Amino acid sequence: MELVKSIKTQVCIIGSGPSGLLLSQLLHNAGIESVVLDRQSRAHIESRIRAGVLEHGSVETLLEAGVGERMLSEGILHDGFDVGFDGERFRIDLKALTGKSVMIYGQTELTRDLIATRLDQGGSIVFSADNVTPSDLESGNPVVRYEKEGEQYEVHCQFVAGCDGFRGVSRESIPQDRRKYFERVYPFGWLGLLSDTKPVADELIYANHERGFALCSMRSNTRSRYYIQCPADEDVNKWSDDAFFDELSLRIGEETAAGLERGPSLEKSIAPLRSFVCEPMRFGNLFLAGDAAHIVPPTGAKGLNLAISDVHYLARAMVEHFKSGNSVHLDAYSQICLTRVWKVERFSWYMSSMLHQFPDHSPFEKRMQRAEYDYVTRSHAGAMAIAENYVGLPYD
């Protein structure tokens, strides 16, 4: 009979992306033990290219967790961003409208910071864990089994946090008749290019052009991230770097493109766009957080921030439970998060609807896009609505 190694902890966290690592860090700060499992290697996790815009509340949460030192020194504060339509440009002045800013700091760098901090503090992170399987989730003693280097392990815990993304095992561990999905798949994707070039502008530019959406973003003052709307089934291999920059130049306009610095791509990929929510976000003693529970199209820069807000609420609830026996916030976790999730889904859907070219849009719908842009750019209330959502809704 094969020997199974047993591990005991208070919380087993599945997934070592930002949400799982941040939850582990916040629990550690409160003296609560956790074990983090991930099927990928550390090198793979630390090399993934992801989002780079942090809301005001996300920055505060990371500082509270004690992992924001490098973010403060290397991140870039942005007080606004531009929205464009058919060659026109308008700046949403976040600072003037809300008194808040956003931080440009790549998710890749944030993940590295979190991993380094957890390991430096003796945190337990198991990389390359195979066949991770949560069980007994409705009991008071869930078990998460996994394999590593030919050996079998069991993690015995009180709570399981499913932070393992859209295609992870956590959500699929909930019986089908106990979960409900809400989803919209968009009929296009984003072709993204990363290059070690100076960004074309000091702040982000979102643009709707008759040829499709474009986004000019950045990871630093010397590293740019650009996107253009493309068919959902597009082959990334059909796009040379020159072809990408040519198309981007058309969509952002001649004046902006005059300052576009071209360079070889470090990474080029196509991301599908979808809106997705799983309800509820709790099953027994399993709690979903981040992409395991919801996906937003990236137009509003909300995916990472929504995951951080989930973790804020989940950490608060678990700390209260372990420290005082108060389970009020733990019991309300799904309801509290979903109230915020649907507001963020609405904003991301709204931005996507205004700024993309939809193949099935009628002339009437195209005029409505233009009318919406005109309202946002000519109305203080319209600009304010964009700004307060972009910097992030306050935490309850």
pLDDT digits (tens, 9 = 90+) for 122-140: 999 999 999 999 999 999 9
Tokens 């996790």 identify what position?
Answer: 45
Mean pLDDT, rounded, for 48-57: 87
Taking alpha carbons only, the member of 180, 103, 132 closest to residue 35 is 132
Q: What is the rounded distance in angstroms from the CA atom of residue 297 to the CA atom of residue 29?
A: 32
- The percent of residues above 70 in pLDDT, for the chain, comes to 99
Residue 388 belongs to some domain of the structure: no
Residue 256 belongs to some domain of the structure: no
* Residues assigned a catalytic role: 78, 206, 298, 302, 390
Amino acid at site 304? L
| pLDDT for res 287 | 98
Residue 86 belongs to some domain of the structure: no
Coil, strand or helix at 201: coil
Q: What is the rounded distance in angstroms from the CA atom of residue 97 to the CA atom of residue 80?
A: 10
Give rounded-to-5 percent helix, strand, coil for the chain: 40, 30, 30
Mean pLDDT, rounded, for 76-93: 95
CB neighbours of residue 6 within 10 Å: 11
Structure tokens at 393: 């809704």
Q: Is the pLDDT of residue 120 over 70?
A: yes
Beta bridge partners of 4: 152
Residue 158 belongs to some domain of the structure: yes
| pLDDT for res 1 | 45
Tell me which residue range forms the domain holding 154.
Answer: 4-63+106-183+275-358
Alpha carbon 330 to chain centroid, angstroms: 23
pLDDT tens for each residue of 249-266: 999 999 999 999 999 999
Kindly report the CATH number assigned to the domain that includes residue 53: 3.50.50.60
Residue 169 belongs to some domain of the structure: yes
Residue 124 belongs to some domain of the structure: yes
Mean pLDDT, rounded, for 315-338: 97
Buried b / exposed e along 372-382 (16+ C-beta atoms within 10 A): bbeebbeeeeb
Residue 346 belongs to some domain of the structure: yes
Structural domains counted in the chain = 1
**Alpha helix segments (H runs only) across 223-289:** 241-252, 254-257
Residue 366 belongs to some domain of the structure: no
In terms of Cβ atoms closer than 10 Å to its own Cβ (0-12, 13-18, 19+), residue 34 is buried
**Average pLDDT score over the chain:** 96
Q: Is the pLDDT of residue 85 over 70?
A: yes
Structure tokens at 219: 């990871």
Mean pLDDT, rounded, for 226-232: 96
How would you classify residue 31: left for phi > 0, otherwise alpha for psi between -120 and 50, otherwise beta? left
| pLDDT for res 12 | 98
Q: What does pTM read for this prediction?
A: 0.95
